[in-house]
Amino acid sequence: MVTSQGSSIWIVSAEGGPPRKLRDEAVARSVSPDGSLISFETKPGTLGDREIWVMRPDGEQARKVFDADENAAIGGLTWSQDGKRVIFFRADSLDNFVLESGYLNGGALTEILPPSDPKRMYSLSFNWTFDARMIYRLDDPEGPERKMITCNLWQIRMDPGLTKYIGEPQRLTNFAELCANPVNATADRKRFLIYEWKPRSRAFLANLQAGATRITTPAPLTLEETWNDPLAWTADSKAVLFVSTRTGVRGIFKQSLGQDNAELLLTSKKSETLGSACVRPEGSWIFYELGVEEEGHQEPNEIMRVPITGGSPQLVLTGNTEGGPRCAKSPASLCAIAERSADRKQVVFTAFDPVNGRGREIAKSDTDAAADYGWDLSPDGTRIALLKNRDARVQILSMKGRAPQEITVKGWNILTSAVWTADGKGLIVSRYTPRGSALVHVDLQGNTRLLREQSGGFGTYAVPSPDGRHLAMRGWYNETNLWMMENF
Look at residue 425 in the predicted model and tell me its pLDDT: 97
* CB 428 within 8 Å of CB 212: yes
Residues of the chain with pLDDT under 50: 142-148
Long-range interactions of 100-109: CB distance < 8 A, separation 24+: 101/162, 101/163, 104/54, 104/65
Q: Whole-model pTM?
A: 0.77
- The correct CATH number of 200-478 out of 1.10.10.10, 1.10.600.10, 3.40.718.10, 2.120.10.30 is 2.120.10.30
Closest C-alpha to 304, from 335, 270, 329: 335
Q: For the chain, which residues make up each domain, given as ranges?
A: 27-198+480-486, 200-478
Look at residue 197 in the predicted model and tell me its pLDDT: 81
CA distance 7 to 26: 6
Computed from CA positions of residues 320, 322, 323, 325, in that sequence, does the dihedral angle turn out positive or negative? negative
Q: How many CB atoms lie within 10 A of CB 236?
A: 13
CA distances to 35, 77, 225 from 57, in Å = 8, 16, 41
Q: How many CB atoms lie within 10 A of CB 278?
A: 24
* CB 117 within 8 Å of CB 126: no
Look at residue 476 in the predicted model and tell me its pLDDT: 82
CA distance 118 to 392: 27
The string of DSSP letters for 221-288 reads S--SSS-EEEEEE-TTSSEEEEEE-TTSS-EEEEEETT-S--EEEEE--TTEEEEEEEE-TTSSEEEE
Cα Rg, the chain, nearest whole Å: 24
- The correct CATH number of 27-198+480-486 out of 2.130.10.120, 3.30.390.30, 3.40.50.300, 1.25.40.10 is 2.130.10.120
Look at residue 124 in the predicted model and tell me its pLDDT: 57
Look at residue 72 in the predicted model and tell me its pLDDT: 85
Look at residue 144 in the predicted model and tell me its pLDDT: 38
One-letter identity of residue 72: A
